[in-house]
Amino acid sequence: MIRRTASIVAALTGAAFLLAAAPLNHAQDTPSKTLKIVSSLPQTGSANAQTTSIVNGIKMAIEERGAVVDGFKIEFEAMDDASPQKGNWDGQIESANAKRAIADPAVVGYIGTYNSGAAKISMPLLNKAGVVMVSPGNTAAGLTKPGLGEPNEPAVYRPSGKVSYFRVVPADDIQGAVACEFCREDLKAKKVFILHDRELYGKGIADVFKKTAESTGVQVVGFEGIDAKASNYRSLVTKIRAAAPDAVFFGGTTQTNAAQVLKDLRAGGCKVPFVSPDGTFEKAFIEAAGKDSVTKDQGGVYITFGGVPSEMLTGIGAQFVKNYQKKYGEIPEAYAVYGYEAGCVLLDAIDRAETKDRAAIIAAVAATKNFNGALGTWSFDENGDTSIRTMSINTIEDGAFKFVRTAGGAAKAK
């Protein structure tokens, strides 16, 4: 009995291996007339609002071209890199998404990720397979810029030796410095208290902020990582009150409890300006913070953002905001325009590419120069970073963001 089974099994396995060895040509044979773009963003859980809006932006970019580029039909699929158990990005799912994209010969572009940590997992995979990756949300400096992250960054993400990762959003190193300058110059802060959420993004910006503060003579009276899941931060606020800073900087996002930190500052009687980066530049933050904690007499709230806010966009950007509002009935979240821009720049590159294979499209994206998009006219540099270095400072008035001024970067967006 056993012997018979064993031989059957052996035969089956042998047959299977023979099949495996047989050439597989049904996939590569005919050049398909359909190209596919995928996105991989955390859509289960707290970042859902931002990522849905990014996906909407990508969809609009594709629809505006009638889903056809240079005679090729463009398909789009939005993948989710979060799992319900985590409610946040999940490395295994991000890796699976990248592998799925690689395995599908029709896929020529990968828009993602939202979290820099997730990008670290899919970047080397996609680079090796030669699939171009355009990120609408990663801001960790080390992903592209040599010398700012670990010593082996960014080479470690480029096993093929070529740059295949691009981002349309300015990196943290610019934003943290801009926020600190704003505290020193506009808020006249001599002492700052820095909080961060211990995440890659939030701590990265907070570190840059701290470094800038120390080099420009602003005293850092506290540097604390918070527990993003805590129910409130009242005891931390007491500590901040005791340190008597002129401003509080929070490196983090709405999802890592920025609004709660702000509310507790106000409730705990600490009425100094609150400065935070673009992870809080979304309607969700205003809504979570409520009416009373954001007003000027409570100290005021200032948010830095890469590029200018939606309503300040001109030209293509303004048109995008208008169309988005018409289609979805709301002002887009801050990152929607990056999703749109990522989609546009990718489609533009596909259009320019002679052949529609993956390598040609990477080359075309890398060659993007003076691209006239929703964010202004910009180019990708040799690292894959956007040339836009303009940041804006915004505040909150009457339940909406209000533009204060531009900062940083010589090249203006328009």
Partner 1 sequence: MAISSKRITINLMLIAVVAIIPVVEKYVPLGWHISDPMTDVFVYAILGLGLNILTGFTGLLNLGVAAFAAIGAYVFAISTCEIYPFQLGFWSALGLTMAAGALAGFALGAPTLRVRGDYLAIVTLGFGEIVKDVLVNMDSITKGTQGINPLPPPTLFGTELSGNGQYWLFMGIVLVVVAGARRLERSRIGRGWISIREDELASRAMGIRPDHAKMLAFATCASLAALAGALTASRLSSSGEPGNYDFQISILALCIVIVGGLGSVRGVLLGALVMVGMNSIVLVKLTELIGGSDAAPASALADAHGVQWALLFIKTWAQNVLMSPTNWKFLVFGLALVLMMIFRPEGMLPARGTKEDAPDGDDGASGATAVANKELRP
Partner 2 sequence: MQRTVAAAEFLAASALSQADAVGAFARDGLLSSQEVFTQQLVTGLSNGMIIALIAIGYTMVYGIIELINFAHGDLCMLGAYFALTVVGALGVDHWVGAGGLMGLVMVLVGTAAFCGSLNWSINRLAYRPLRKASKLSLLVSAIGASFILVNLGLFWGGLPMDVFANGTSSAAPKAFPALVSAAPAAQIGDVIYSRTDLLVLCVTLPLMVALTYLVRFTKLGKAMRAVAQNPTGASLMGIDVERVIGATFFIGGSLGGFATVVYSLYNQTVSFQMGYRMGMDAFIAAVLGGIGNLPGAVLGGILIGVIRSMSDGYLEARWTNTVVFGILILILVFRPSGLLGAKLREKV
Which residues of the chain form contacts with partner 2 (CB under 8 A)? 45-49, 52, 84, 87, 198, 224-227, 229-236, 238-239, 241-242, 244, 254, 257, 259-260, 263-264, 266-269, 283-284, 287-292, 330, 333
Residue 104 touches which of partner 1, partner 2, none (Cβ within 5-8 Å per kind)? partner 1
Our CB check for partner 1 shows the closer of 192 and 228 to be 228
Beta strands in 173-321, from DSSP E residues, in sequence order: 191-196, 219-225, 247-251, 274-276, 301-306
Interaction between residue 225 and partner 1 (CB under 8 A) = yes
> Closer to partner 1 at the Cβ: 120 or 356?
120
In DSSP notation, 396-407 reads EETTEEEEEEEE
**DSSP assigned state of 137:** S
Please identify, using beta-carbon distances, which residue of 199 and 246 lies nearer to partner 1.
Answer: 199
**CB neighbour list of residue 173: distance below 8 Å, 6 or more residues apart:** 141, 145, 148, 208
Task: Lay out the site mask for partner 1 across 31-60 (x = CB under 8 A, - = otherwise).
Answer: ------------xx---x---x---x----
Decide: is 211 part of the binding site for partner 1 (CB under 8 A): no
Q: CB 389 → partner 2: shortest distance, Å?
A: 30
Quick check: 330 binds partner 1 (CB under 8 A)? yes
Residue 188 neighbours by CB under 8 Å, 6+ apart: 246
* Nearest CB to partner 2, comparing residues 219 and 314: 219
The 8-class DSSP code of residue 250 comes to E
How far, in Å, CA of 324 to CA of 156, rounded?
Answer: 38
- In sign, the C-alpha dihedral spanning 343, 257, 391, 321 is positive
* DSSP class of 273: -
Strands (E), 84-188: 88-89, 107-112, 132-135, 165-167
The CB-of-145 to partner 1 minimum distance in angstroms stands at 15
The residues of the shown chain that bind partner 1, judged by CB under 8 A, are 1-2, 5-6, 9, 12-13, 16-17, 19-20, 24, 43-44, 48, 52, 56, 78, 80, 82-88, 90-93, 95-96, 99-100, 103-104, 117, 120-121, 124, 140, 142, 149-152, 156, 198-200, 203, 225, 327-330
